């Protein structure tokens, strides 16, 4: 019995010794091998992503419809850099490059430089951005950094390039330790955006002025795009502006979505629709960030494949006989327009007679009852009612007001909200009758002046409370001041 116990103990010691010997001799080699395998998997993973993005860029440049396989894979790619390698592999499926491309090797096929055949003679390039002044940082997102700069001492533009300190590059370098390739991957987002800015021409899409490839940070051919300059969209600020200006933002947005739904490249959706993807140029909303735009409509076998998920609502769209989710791109844009813009901007402090129509627009888009054609038609209808004065309710006989020629009174000016001028009460009206109506509703209003200035609608006047048309027939302005002249120069 004792001998058996000794034999077991000896066996255990021997196996422990052999096991340790094995660990000492072989595990570092296995570990090294595993590391090598992981890093080569990482490199080929990165190369695959570069190749896929390059192919996407080429598709947009050549305007080819994606293959069925690409259609299935594409929506998952959007933020693949956020996922761990295993998740990425699972998300991307087992898609392999075609045999011919595999044998070519990935890294050599994608080209760093993609030139645009821009026709405009005024196309800007490297020469112009070497001579910039007044450069200052405007903003940055996941991938890009944007600077304001003045070219040739005259034209203010936005310069956009890959942000070397941004999340996209940082996460990629952490994963793959390959700055050059990570730059290339990120830069295809700017290339894609540049191609789309060139191919899509609309008043509510930022204008591309040009681009420049130059060596930077030891990386050859880094890309900078030169575009129209806007100001970042601040929702809080927008909420403080007049209804007329907020309506203008919503109208610009539906006109843009209408164009995107019928774009020369096909129905296009903005996968990333947050307000920061837009800027304001002269009071109009314009889209600036197009790297997440997509024309691929999801394929389906049944309606349940056409499921759209939003934080507060889900929708199932019909699957067409051709196996496509019907109008999915258009409807995704519309619901996003509803949840990020319409609910906040459209109904609040609108003229009361327009409220029922505006509420109907908000409800119909929130339920996805309408497509973009109907939505844009309804907003254009609101514009027509508003600028033609048809929205004005027939008011009872207006009280008597006396006209005082060429007068303005600084002291009696007062502040109101929302005003186009912070020092006084400057509003927009359709005509004198509406001005009287507003003056009647403000207890401080003694008189008002109609300025010969129209708002963006082209037909409505600005109105300032000062003098000229006095509430009280015996009202005598004390001084004549040039307050109005000051206001007029501020306005335009």
Ligand X SMILES: Nc1ncnc2c1ncn2[C@@H]1O[C@H](COP(=O)(O)OP(=O)(O)OP(=O)(O)O)[C@@H](O)[C@H]1O
Residues within the interface to ligand X (CB under 6 A): 138-144, 146, 158, 206, 227-230, 232, 272, 276-277, 279, 288-289, 291
Nearer to ligand X, 232 or 323 (CB): 232
Sign of CA dihedral 333, 340, 367, 311: positive
Nearer to ligand X, 159 or 409 (CB): 159
Nearer to ligand X, 293 or 468 (CB): 293
> Cβ of residue 168: shortest distance to ligand X, in angstroms?
7
Distances (CA, A) of 93 to 56, 72, 87, 189: 17, 10, 10, 22
Instruction: Name the burial class of residue 145, with classes exposed (0-12), middle (13-18) and buried (19+) by CB atoms within 10 angstroms of its CB.
Output: middle
Nearer to ligand X, 2 or 174 (CB): 174
Nearer to ligand X, 173 or 450 (CB): 173
Nearer to ligand X, 272 or 305 (CB): 272
> Cβ of residue 144: shortest distance to ligand X, in angstroms?
4
Catalytic residue among 221, 272, 305, 431: 272
* Helix, strand, coil content of the chain in percent (nearest 5): 45, 20, 35
Nearer to ligand X, 244 or 289 (CB): 289
Distances (CA, A) of 362 to 11, 330, 368, 400: 80, 16, 10, 39
Residue nearest to ligand X according to CB distances in the complex: 141
Q: What is the DSSP letter of 213?
A: E
Measured in degrees and rounded to the nearest 5, phi and psi for residue 266 equal: 115, 180
Nearer to ligand X, 232 or 347 (CB): 232
| Contact between residue 425 and residue 467 where contact means Cβ atoms under 8 Å apart | no
| Contact between residue 210 and residue 426 where contact means Cβ atoms under 8 Å apart | no
Active site residue 272: yes
| Contact between residue 300 and residue 325 where contact means Cβ atoms under 8 Å apart | yes
> Cβ of residue 114: shortest distance to ligand X, in angstroms?
18
> Cβ of residue 129: shortest distance to ligand X, in angstroms?
14
Instruction: Name the burial class of residue 12, with classes exposed (0-12), middle (13-18) and buried (19+) by CB atoms within 10 angstroms of its CB.
Output: exposed
User: Can you spell out the DSSP letters for 397-444?
Assistant: PPPP-EE-TT---STT----SS-SSTTS-EEEESSHHHHHHHHHH-TT
Measured in degrees and rounded to the nearest 5, phi and psi for residue 392 equal: -70, 130
Sorted by sequence, the CB contacts under 8 Å of residue 140 that are 6+ apart come out as: 146, 163, 166
Q: What's the CA gap between 450 and 406, in Å, rounded?
A: 11
DSSP E strands, 228-267: 231-232
> Cβ of residue 486: shortest distance to ligand X, in angstroms?
29
Sorted by sequence, the CB contacts under 8 Å of residue 197 that are 6+ apart come out as: 205, 206, 207, 208, 225, 227, 290
166, 286, 162: which is closest to 224 by C-alpha? 162
Catalytic residues: 272
């Amino acid at each position: 019995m004792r001998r058996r116990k000794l034999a077991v103990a000896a066996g255990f010691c021997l196996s422990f010794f052999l096991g340790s010997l094995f660990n000492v001799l072989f595990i570092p080699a296995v570990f090294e091998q595993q590391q090598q395998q992981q890093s080569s998997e990482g490199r080929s993973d990165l190369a695959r992503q570069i190749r896929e993005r390059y192919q996407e860029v080429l598709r947009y440049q050549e305007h080819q419809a994606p293959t069925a396989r690409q259609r299935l894979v594409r929506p998952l790619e959007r933020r693949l850099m956020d996922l761990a390698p295993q998740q990425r592999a699972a998300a991307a499926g087992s898609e392999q490059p075609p045999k011919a491309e595999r044998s070519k090797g990935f890294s050599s096929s994608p080209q760093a430089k993609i030139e645009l055949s821009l026709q405009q003679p005024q196309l800007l390039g490297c020469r112009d951005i070497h001579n910039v002044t007044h450069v200052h940082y405007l903003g940055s997102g996941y991938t890009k950094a944007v600077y304001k700069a003045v070219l040739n001492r005259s034209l203010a533009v936005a310069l956009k390039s890959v942000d070397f300190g941004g999340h996209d590059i940082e996460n990629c370098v952490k994963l793959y330790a390959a700055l050059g390739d990570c730059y290339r991957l990120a830069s295809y987002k700017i290339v894609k955006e540049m191609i789309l800015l060139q191919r899509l021409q609309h008043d509510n899409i930022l204008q591309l002025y040009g681009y420049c490839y130059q060596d930077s940070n030891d990386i050859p051919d880094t890309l900078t795009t030169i575009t129209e300059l806007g100001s970042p969209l601040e929702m809080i600020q927008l909420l403080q502006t007049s209804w007329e200006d907020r309506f203008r933002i919503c109208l610009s947005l539906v006109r843009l979505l209408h164009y995107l739904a019928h774009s020369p490249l096909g129905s296009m959706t903005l996968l990333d629709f947050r307000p920061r993807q837009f800027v304001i140029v002269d009071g109009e909303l314009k889209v600036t960030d197009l790297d997440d735009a997509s024309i691929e409509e999801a394929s389906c076998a049944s309606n349940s494949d056409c499921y759209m998920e939003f934080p507060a609502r889900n929708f199932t769209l019909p699957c067409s006989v051709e196996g496509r989710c019907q109008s999915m791109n258009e409807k995704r844009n519309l619901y996003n327009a509803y949840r990020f813009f319409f609910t906040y901007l459209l109904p609040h402090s609108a003229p009361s007679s327009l409220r029922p129509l505006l509420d109907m627009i908000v409800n119909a888009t929130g339920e996805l009852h309408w497509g973009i054609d109907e939505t844009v038609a309804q907003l254009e209808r609101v514009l027509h009612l508003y600028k033609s004065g048809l929205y004005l309710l027939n008011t009872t006989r207006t009280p008597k007001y006396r006209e005082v020629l060429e007068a303005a009174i600084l002291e009696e000016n007062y502040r109101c909200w929302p005003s186009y001028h912070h020092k006084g009460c400057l509003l927009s009206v359709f005509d004198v009758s509406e001005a009287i109506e507003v003056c009647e509703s403000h207890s401080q209003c003694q008189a008002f002046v109609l300025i010969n200035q129209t708002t963006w609608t082209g037909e409505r006047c600005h109105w300032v409370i000062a003098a000229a048309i006095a509430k009280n027939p015996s009202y005598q302005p004390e001084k004549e001041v040039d307050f109005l002249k000051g206001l007029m120069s501020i306005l335009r």
